[in-house]
Amino acid sequence: MKIIIDQDKCVGGGQCVMAAPEVFDQRDSDGVVELLDATPPADQQEAVRDAVLFCPAAAIRLEER
Amino acid sequence: MSSPSDVLIVGASVGGLTVAQALRRKGYTGRIRLVGEEPHPPYDRPPLSKEILTGAWPASRAQLNLDGLDADLILGVRAVRLDLSAWQVHLDNGRRLPYGTLVIATGLSPRRLPTQQRLDGVHTFRTLDDALALGRDLRNAERIAVIGAGVLGCELAAAARALGRDVTLIDPASVPMAGQLGDQLGTLMASLHRRHDVKLRTGAGVATLTHVRGRVTGVALTDGSAVAADLAIVAIGSTPAIGWLAGSGLRLYDGIECDAYGRAGPGVYAVGDVARPLGSVRLENRANATEQAVTVAATILGDGRPYTPVAYFWTEQYDAKIQVYGTITAGSRLRLIEGQLDEERFVALAETGGTVTAAIGWNHPCGARSARQHLMKVPGKPVGQE
């Protein structure tokens, strides 16, 4: 799994951090998403898929292979 | 886990689409049909009043990702009737779609002023086509009257100012976004708009739209004054799009009544702005649509849990970014936990009778998320009672 984020779309809702705190973080200054791990291990991937669904800005995309 | 052979979803915006995505994510391999009234493939609405309207983004940037969806998109047709006993949805092109499982996510229709019919230069705002049409007209207009200072009206006023237009924002409440923010933060919102040269006409009701030869010329207010405008935007709220369900047998009152799992009738579920869960309230926001959609998808697959929403909305106006988790009730007290109001960067809690009902971040998204932990799970305020 590879995560692609669109920081320009991010609205700082923080749903991704609540869903997968080991994978996503927010910049202190403006709340925009930052990736801690673009290729998360298997035990994080369900949480990441939750984050994709719950993101209110549709700013997270996955490449699964 | 039970699994239906087909799921028909009426409403192809984010609520309906997310049901389909969540079904696929949970391994559902049956047929999914997604019916949408608009001709466009599913897109996201929040950017419409911001980046799409100002032209900062092309319309295609609002499109939602359909990767792996494997659904039949039936677009540009409207559902006109639901026949519960025949398990069929009738479309405006004469087709009848049978279903085993039906999800209704038809959203909202903007309210209109009684006087706005057939006047040129008057806009409502809900769809991508609305945004593109308003964007075109804004380029040729000079004086804009925005009627209604809720979230949408405020965002549209900010977008019109970004395009350099003269803007007057009109609302019967004493401050902008009074219903969403309360008086104290609404006052801050008023100064934000004034600082960006928006003329505020708060505490003022609209009597009528004035017009000459079929074109709007301004807004007459109930106090006898008038606002001249060559373009008026009506942003006075919305009503659930349930007209097509009249007589269907579903319980309809301010939306489609459903239970905490989203169940509205035999094999029928309601999602998003149009759904009114019993014992809770109907929420009109982007986050609720997706969370409720995930709940309904799980219920359809026999793995549902009751949905207990925490209301969440955000707004971006000028350089301000405001996040509210929960609901700021009328008369609640604000407690600052970081920053100061006059710095316009702070985190605050809204409290009513010792209960925290909302966590607010003003130019402080991370603080708002952390402050969310103070929030009890409380239902939001009933929309339409603002």
Residues of A in contact with B49 (CB under 8 A): none
Distances (CA, A) of B291 to A43, B53, B262: 22, 27, 11
Tell me which chain B residue has its CA closest to the CA of residue A55. B287
Q: How far is B45 from chain A (nearest CA, A)?
A: 9
Give the pLDDT confidence of B235-294 residue by residue, as tens digits. Answer: 999 999 999 999 999 999 999 999 999 999 999 999 999 999 998 889 999 999 999 999
For residues B138 and B386, the model is more confident at B138
With cut-offs at 50, 70 and 90, classify the pLDDT of residue B2: low
Position B385 pLDDT exceeds 90 = no
* Structural domain spans, chain A: 2-63
Q: What's residue B376's pLDDT? A: 61
Burial class (CB in 10 A: 0-12, 13-18, 19+), A20: buried
> Are β-strands B263-265 and B96-98 bridged in parallel, bridged antiparallel, or unpaired?
unpaired
Nearest to B151 by CA among B264, B281, B311: B311
For the domain made up of A2-63, the CATH class stated in words is alpha beta
Helix, coil or strand: residue B340: strand
Tell me which chain A residue has its CA closest to the CA of residue B51. A9
Give the pLDDT confidence of B164-207 residue by residue, as tens digits. Answer: 999 999 999 999 999 999 999 999 999 999 999 999 999 999 99
Mean pLDDT of B133-154: 97
Transcribe B126-183 into DSSP letters. -SHHHHHHHHHHHHT-SEEEEE--SHHHHHHHHHHHHTT-EEEEEESSSSTTHHHHHH
Average pLDDT for chain B: 94
B337-346 CB burial, b ≥16 within 10 A, e <16:
eebeeeebbb
pTM: 0.95
Residues of A in contact with B316 (CB under 8 A): 11
Nearest to B268 by CA among B76, B92, B73, B88: B88
Best of A2, A6, A9 to mutate (most B CBs within 10 Å, chain B): A9
Transcribe B344-362 into DSSP letters. TEEEEEEEETTEEEEEEEE
Q: How far apart are CA B304 and CA B307, in angstroms?
A: 9
